[in-house]
Every structure is written in structure tokens, then in C-alpha cells.
Amino acid sequence: MRPVSKRERLYFLAIGGVAMGNVAVLAKQLGYEVSGCDRKLYPPIDQLLNTNGVSFLEEFSLEHLLNFAPSRIVVGNAVSRGNVVLEHILECERHRMISLPEFLSQDLVGARKRIVISGTHGKTTTAAIAAFYMRQIGICGGYFIGGIPKNLTSGVDLGDGSAPFIFEGDEYDCAFFDKRSKFIHYMPNTAVVNCIDFDHGDIFCDIGAVQRSFFHLLCLVPNSGHVIINGDDPNIDAIFPISWATVHRVGWEKNNDFYLQNFFMNRDGSTWQVAHKKGSFCVQTCLHGRFNAMNATMALLASHLTLNLPFPTDIDLRDYKGVCRRQEKLIDSNELLAIEDFGHHPREVREVLTSLREQYPHGELIACFEPATNTSMYRMWENDYIKAFTVCDRCFWGKPKGAARIPAEKYLRIDLFMDALSQRIVEARHFSENKLLLDYLLETLQKDSNGRRRVVVLFSSGAFHPVLPYWHEQSSRNRAI
């Protein structure tokens, strides 16, 4: 890690992103003077920054930047040309500008073993489990996670400089001036690829472009390193074989090097076995769903292979409490279970809903979805979303966020989509305003459930105002009682 000058002042442009906010907090803890600005922030990042004494302004303000007079400016990937602060930086202070992944990798992590956990889905949970598990076995590894893990103090911690550092490796771009995937900066000794799907249509033109970026990540693994992949995913298989590093395939099929079997799930969590050439081990966790069993297995393998430790017979992860906004329970009563989830891609939605249907086969499953990403508004995903939401009983879609970014000929045909979905489930509706969705949902919950427990899932990668704030308020009241 580069020594920190007491006079070094860091300004985070778009500080409200989960990754940006977490790194800002870490920089503050390391002795940097830190500030930043963004649009309106929402939980949990605003709370994290306030708790750690990081000052920020909830608007993009050139005056705020000039008054702070930073030594360097960390530019988030949410900032684009035309932003008043960015335009000033390019005119007057471009030599002070750096992307977040470059700052994290070069300035903070230093020369230590690196685990990069990547994949279109599941990387936040997998990275958080790896960080938790290492500390559980007495290794104080560092970590950078694009979320707020409940068992850890924040999403970023340097840990012990002699222990490995765990990166959540995002394939999204670094900044407006660096369109490579963030994980290219992280230089892995061990690389994990959970799954590959087409996503981020604003960055990648097709699935081949996504696969190419993941291949570039694997090109950085040294001969002494490890590559751990989902052996059941044909989109990953398409970028293999590779002639360097040791490849470990993981999955549910017996032709994998590590294969999962005897999966069992109840309301308390899940158990399964992982078989391999030298034997097997059993895993217990409070998490649900086969996708989380894969996430946990990947995390365990990354930890043991990087540390060169043998596998124990039993691994108990029941104390792992998850990550905020990932299948997080807000209300849990006999009549109602309300869950918040960050999912937006149809594969994520389908896996979460399928897991909940398996847990509550007799419950009424209601999915509320905020289309807040490019993926959720593209026409190409219509059939995939129909298949995903067919798992639930009722589906309510909120107001699209940033719909103007999508060309009309590529935009999701919401009326046709809802009509097709209505043929398969009890009810499917979309709303012009999120407030109307909330009102209708509350009306629905007032009706007789015929003795069925209602399970409400709130899917959003944004603020989903006022739907999420309402349920967070109810959750806070319940905890106070």
C-alpha cells in the first residue's frame, strides 16, 4: 500500500455508489481526507458515509469540489460527459483524475495474493462468504465487496497485509475514460467465474463481448494460480480451454472436479455435500437456494485453494448472515414475509422466486419489480422475464427508470409483456408511478388470503421510491416493538 500523506485529500465524484461509498470510508479510515458529491443518496450508503464521518453533498457541485481542493479525484463510472464537475476536471485538473478500481488496486491493496470473484450474478454474495469464512478460520483477509455484508464492518477492509485480498470483480466499465471491465485492474492469483450471461447492454454489444472480457481476466492469472469456474454453464465453457493455471470445474453434474449433491433446504437454511477426487465435505448455511449453494461452494474453494489448505469434513456457515439487499427479510410474521432483493436480470429473478416457491409451496408469492436498469427495459428479455415471473402468483411492475436511454425499437413492449404474463399467473400489472403500485399492493394485502401466507419480494437495484422506504419503515417499527 502506498504511504498516505497527511495532506492527501480525495474527492469521490459519484460517491453514492455502493463501491464508491465503501472505498471512500476505507480511505477515511486510512488517513486520507475524504469528501464527495452525487445525486440523492439512498440507504444503506448514506448511512454508511454518515456513520464514518465522510462528508458529502447530494448534488453535483463545482463549488463543493473547489472548496475541498482535493489532491486527487476518484471518478465513478456513473459519471458521464456533460456533468458540470467532470467538465471542470477535464479542463483544469485532469492530471488528478483516477478510476475507482485503479485507485483500489494500485494505492490500497499492494503486493499480496489476490482472489477475484466474478460472474454476471452471485459475485457479491460469493465474495462476502469468502471474506467471512477466512476470518472464521483465523485468516484476516482483506476484501472489497460491492455491498454491505451483515457479518463484517463494511464492504471494504484491508485486513492483514500478509493475508490474501478478496475482490468482487465487476465486469462493468471502470469510468467514462476507461471502458475495460473493472476486474482487469485486480490482477488475480485466483479467479472465480460463477456464471456468464448477457447483461449491461450499454457496455457490451452481445454475449461474445461479455465472454471476451472474462477471458481477458483469466489471461492475467499466473501459472501458479487457480481458475475456479461453473462447469455447468455453457457460456463459460465457450472460453475454454486455457493452457495456463490450474482449472477447477464446479457444478451439479458429476463430470465436474467438485460436484454438489444431496442438497436439502428448509426454512432454516440449506445443507449439501461437495464431492471431489480426494473425498467430500458437507456444508451448512442459513442461505436458501441452489444458486447460493454454488456461491458458497465457490467461496470455500477459492479460500482453501489460495491458502493451500486441506478441506475439512464439515464446514458450518450458519453464522453467515448475508448481505444487505440480497434476499433480505424486512417483515417476517405468520401472515406476511416481505423480502428485498437487488436482482434485476431475469436469471436472478427466476432463481430467487424459484427458491422462495420451494420454501413456501403453499404461500401466495407476490413479486414487485422496479425496472431500473438497461437490461430490465430491453425487448430482447421479454420471454425470459415472462418465464421468470411465471413462478409467482402476482407480478407488479413499477415505473421504468431512465427509459429514454433505450431506442424505441429495442424497448420492452410492456403492455404485450403484461398481457402474456397475465395468461400464466393470477395477476400481472404495471404502474405509471411507483406510488400507485404501493397503494395497490397494500390494497391486495388487505384482502382475504384464504389462510395462505403471503410472500412479497421487492426487486430493485435502485431506490424504488416510495415502495422500499415504506417497507423499511415498517421493518424499523417491528424491530422497535
Rounded CA separation 181/100 (Å): 12
Question: What is the residue type of 158?
Answer: L
Q: What is the pLDDT of residues 392-431, one digit of tens each?
A: 999 999 998 877 777 888 888 889 999 999 999 999 999 9
The whole-angstrom separation of Cα 130 and Cα 143 is 9
pTM value > 0.85 = yes
**Residue 241 preceded by cis peptide, ω within 30:** yes
pLDDT tier at 480, thresholds 50, 70, 90: low
Q: CA–CA separation, 228 vs 248, rounded Å? A: 5
Element (H, E) at 273: strand 269-276
**Taking every pair of C-alpha atoms in the chain, what is the biggest distance, in angstroms?**
66
- Helix (H) or strand (E) holding 299, with range, is helix 290-307
d(CA 293, CA 285): 8
Cβ proximity of 22 and 145 under 8 Å: yes
Instruction: Please check whether residue 11 is in contact with residue 44, taking contact to mean a CB–CB distance below 8 angstroms.
Output: no
Residue 295 one-letter amino acid: N
Q: Are 372 and 464 in contact (CB under 8 A)?
A: yes
Cell 463494511 found at: 154
Q: What's the CA dihedral at 189, 193, 198, 202 to 10 degrees?
A: -30
Cβ partners under 8 Å of residue 423, min gap 6: none
Q: Residue 408's pLDDT is what?
A: 82
| 327 pLDDT more than 80 | yes
Domains of the chain: 9-102 (3.40.50.720), 111-317 (3.40.1190.10), 328-480 (3.90.190.20)
pLDDT of residue 477: 78
Residue 234's nearest CA partner among 265, 288, 196 is 196
Which grid coordinates are listed for 196?
456468464
Mean pLDDT of 362-384: 89
pLDDT digits (tens, 9 = 90+) for 267-289: 889 999 999 998 999 999 999 99
Percent of the chain scoring above 70 in pLDDT: 98
Nearest CA to 457 out of 322, 326, 339, 333 is that of: 339
pLDDT, the chain, mean: 92
Query: Each residue of 277-324: pLDDT tens digit?
Result: 989 999 999 999 999 999 999 999 999 999 999 999 999 999 999 888
- How far apart CA 282 and CA 274 sit, in angstroms, is 6
pLDDT digits (tens, 9 = 90+) for 422-453: 999 999 999 999 999 999 999 999 998 888 99
Take residue 87 and report the three cell numbers written for it: 467538465
